[in-house]
Structure 1
Amino acid sequence: MVDVAERLSFFAALYKVDENPEVGMWWLYITIIILSIVVYKLGFAKKLPPLKSLVIYLFLILGCTILTFFGVFLPVAEGLIVASVILIIYKIRLKQQKNEEKVDGIS
């Protein structure tokens, strides 16, 4: 017999989706939404009018519904954390490089 608890992803196990599925799935859903928004803002967001931004976020939230079901057994939230860390490092390095170029241009 297969033990479901052994196959859960980290966040699904953290939120105890196997013991309390209703609350656990909501927490997993909210986590995936927040991480998806962070990754979107860090890597892909452009300055858009408010209505277009609203449409993008609605579709992002709708897509996160599907990702949540995958996230019970697959490392979806964990992958989003890795993506956000990589994008944060990229943004920091890009900012440092621009500051260095600005300083080199002045002197």
Structure 2
Amino acid sequence: MSYTIDYYSDDVQAEILSLPPGVLADYLRLADLLEELGPAIRLPFSRAMGDGLFELRPHGREGIGRVFYCFLLGQRIVMLHSFIKKTQETPRKELPIAQSRLQEVKDADAR
């Protein structure tokens, strides 16, 4: 059974769609794979970040992107936050944004 992708907000969707062209092309390829495989997708394409948070790992000639996402009941995937990596490690400010949105989505889904 395939999964569907939703976005935390229109702003998050616009942020993802404004990734550099090569990174966006790889994101779209990985998103198709994610819809097909769901949680079975693994490194190097995706990585678990803990507490139900995952990162999709698109890259292109322009750089490396990251898109944080989670799984919800009903075969749903929610894209929470994205950014372009400029260093080897995830910038400190990016992870708390995704974690906060993850909690909001989980709370809303529990209702």
TM-score for the superposition, normalised by structure 1: 0.28
The structure whose residues are more often strand, as a share, is 2
TM-score between both structures, scaled by the size of structure 2: 0.27
Bigger relative contact order, structure 1 or 2 (CA pairs below 8 A, ≥6 apart): 1
More helix by share: 1
